[in-house]
């Protein structure tokens, strides 16, 4: 859970309070009145892996070069949706306990990936159920290393950068050792 009070004017215009003007004199007045009196609580929940979730090529849709376009097929696990609802309610309670005069929360809906998608090249020991090993080396393609968030089997928080960096350092150390021994 994270609480944020500051927003740039364009963010406020795009995601300000319900029924607030998004442009013109009313927008400027709302900025003056609410800019230092607003808080957003965001919650980050895990996304449990489902075998049906995947990234593949669309059989019909083509990109600008006539190649198959990327397609993301994703459904939230029922526990993910329950967790989102729980944290939404807790966030409302926190804001009300803090004395907020206006509180609103959007309905819980399916998450569609976002900026921190994970899990498309799952890490594991078994090539039948995973794409890369613990050092990010692909099981089926010799000398291919995939070092990013796609190896995560689940995502516990929304900003995985530090974990990705730690795994990249581990993969690099392993790659160096393998190269020195002639196995890469």
Q: Which residues are catalytic?
A: 116
In the DSSP assignment, the letter for residue 43 is -
* 119 conformational bin, left if phi > 0, alpha if psi -120 to 50, beta if neither: left
In the chain, which residue ranges form alpha helices assigned H by DSSP? 9-15, 24-34, 78-97, 161-180
Distance CA 184, CA 181 (A): 8
Alpha carbon 174 to chain centroid, angstroms: 28
CA angle (14 as vertex; 7, 112 as ends), nearest 5: 100
């Amino acid at each position: 859970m994270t609480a944020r009070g500051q927003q740039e004017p364009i963010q406020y215009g795009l995601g300000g309070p319900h029924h607030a003007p998004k442009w013109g004199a009313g927008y400027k007045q709302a900025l003056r009145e609410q800019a230092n009196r607003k808080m957003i609580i965001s919650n980050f929940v895990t996304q449990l892996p489902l075998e049906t979730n995947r990234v593949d090529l669309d059989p019909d849709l083509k990109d600008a070069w006539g190649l198959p376009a990327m397609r993301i097929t994703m459904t939230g696990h029922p526990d993910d949706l329950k967790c989102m609802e729980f944290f939404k309610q807790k966030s409302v309670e926190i804001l009300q306990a803090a004395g907020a005069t206006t509180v609103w929360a959007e309905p819980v809906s399916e998450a569609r990936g976002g900026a921190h998608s994970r899990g498309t090249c799952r890490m594991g020991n078994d090539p039948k159920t995973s794409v890369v090993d613990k050092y990010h080396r692909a099981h089926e393609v010799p000398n291919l290393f995939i070092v990013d968030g796609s190896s995560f089997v689940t995502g516990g928080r929304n900003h995985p950068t530090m974990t990705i960096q730690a795994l990249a350092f581990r993969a690099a150390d392993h790659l160096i050792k393998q190269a020195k021994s002639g196995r890469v």
